[in-house]
Structures are given as structure tokens and as C-alpha cells.
Structure 1
Amino acid sequence: MVDLKQTLSRFLSIPGVRQSILVGRDGLMIEGLTREGKEDMEAVGAITTTGLSTAEALGQEIARGGVVGLVMEYEHGLVSVDPLGDFALLVTLFDNASHLGRVRHLVKASRNEILEALDIV
């Protein structure tokens, strides 16, 4: 069986990644890991679901299809939101855009493993 903490810890092994959070579409945190982060993982996860819902509505309105991923860039870092099927999403907080490719690659590589652990494959 897949250990979600072990899977999420791979994200924290990427330099600059501060948090990796698995959240249900209802906003409830399923699992999360942080590296010295001050941000409240449960609050980040809950708020992020609203942002994803807004992005999904925009995609429908402008006829661009479903959201594959969402990246929000702030003055002091980035937040990546990746839908994992209809029931969960992965939220990753990191310091700068230089590691965006590594984070996106790891999301794709870990997707089936996470879904299997959630028993929604």
C-alpha cells in the first residue's frame, strides 16, 4: 500500500518547496507535510479549493476545457494546484519559479500512486 506521507515527502525534497498538501474537493485536508512553513496547511487547502472552482468556471466560460493545473505567482513564492480526479487536489507551495518544472513533473509521476492510495483509481 502507498504511504501518502512518503509520497508527499518527495515534493519536500525539491529545493524551495515549503508545503505539499493533499486536499479533498470539499476543502478538508487529507494529508500534508510542511518544511518550516508558517502557513496553516488546513487553511491553505480550504482556500485553494475555492480558487480552483473559480478557475474551472472561467475555463467553462471561455470554452478552454477543464483545469489541468493552476499556478498562482505571488511576490514571495508560488502555489501550484493540481486536480487529482473528481475528489482531490494536490497543493504545493514553493519559493520561486525555477522549480516549477520539477514540481509539475513529480505531480504527473505521482498522480496514479496518490489516487491508488485514496482508493479512487
Structure 2
Amino acid sequence: MVDLKQTLSRFLAIPGVRQAIIVGRDGLMIEGMTRDGKEDMEAVGAIMTTGLSTAEALGQEIARGSVVGVIMEYEHGLVSVDPLGDFALMVTLFDSASNLGRVRHLVRTSRGEILEALDIA
């Protein structure tokens, strides 16, 4: 069986990644890991469900299809939100865009094992 903490630790192994969180579409945190613990993982996960819902509504309104991922860039870092099917999403906080490709690739390659661990594959 897949260990979610072990899977999330691979995200934290990427330089600059500060948090990796799996959250349900209802806003409740399923699992999360943090490098420095400054941000509240539960709050970040809950807020990002709303952000993803907004992006999904926009995609429908402008007829662009389903959301593949959302990336928000701030003065001091990025937040990536990736849907994991109908029931969960992956939220990643990192310091700069320099490792955006690595984070996105790892989300895609880990998707199957995360869904398996959540028993929603």
C-alpha cells in the first residue's frame, strides 16, 4: 500500500518546496507535510478548494474545459493546486518558479499512487 507521507516527502525533497498538502474537495485536510511550519496547512488547503472552484467556474464560463491545474504567483512564492479526481486536490507551496516544472511533473507522476492510497482510483 502507498504511504501518503512518503509520497509527500518527495515534494519536500524538491528545493524550495515548503508544503505539500492533499485536501478533500470539502476543504478538509487529508494529509500534509511542511518544511518549516510557518503557514497553517489546514487553512491553506481549505482556502485553495475555493480557489479551484473559482477556476473551474471560469473555465466553464469561457468554454475552456476542465481545470488541469491552477498556479498562483505571489511576491514571495507560488501556490500550485492540482485536482486529483472528483474528491481531492494537491496543494503545493514553493518559493520560486524555478522548480515549477519539477513540481508539476511530480504531481502528474504521483497522481495514480495518491489516488490508490486514497482508495478512489
Report the counterpart of residue 72 of structure 1 in structure 2: 72
CA distance in structure 2 between the aligned counterparts of 1:11 and 1:70, rounded to whole angstroms = 17
Q: Is residue 2:112 matched to residue 1:117?
A: no
CA distance in structure 1 between the aligned counterparts of 2:109 and 2:53, rounded to whole angstroms = 24
Gap regions ≥5 residues in structure 2: none
Q: Following superposition of structure 1 onto structure 2, how do residues 47-66 of structure 1 map, counting pairs within 5 Å? A: 47-66=47-66
Q: What percent of counterpart residues are identical?
A: 87
Q: Which runs of 4+ in 1 moved over 6 A?
A: none
Quote how far apart the aligned CAs of 1:113 are: 0.3
Deviations 1:38-85 (A, max 9, x none): 100000000000000000000000000010000000000000000000
TM-score under structure 2 length normalisation: 0.99
Letter in 2 for 1:85: G
Letter in 1 for 2:11: F
Gap regions ≥5 residues in structure 1: none
Quote how far apart the aligned CAs of 1:37 are: 3.2
CA distance in structure 2 between the aligned counterparts of 1:107 and 1:81, rounded to whole angstroms = 10
Q: How many residues align?
A: 121
Q: Secondary structure at the match of 1:66?
A: coil
Report the counterpart of residue 20 of structure 1 in structure 2: 20
TM-score under structure 1 length normalisation: 0.99
Q: CA RMSD in A?
A: 0.4
Letter in 2 for 1:47: I
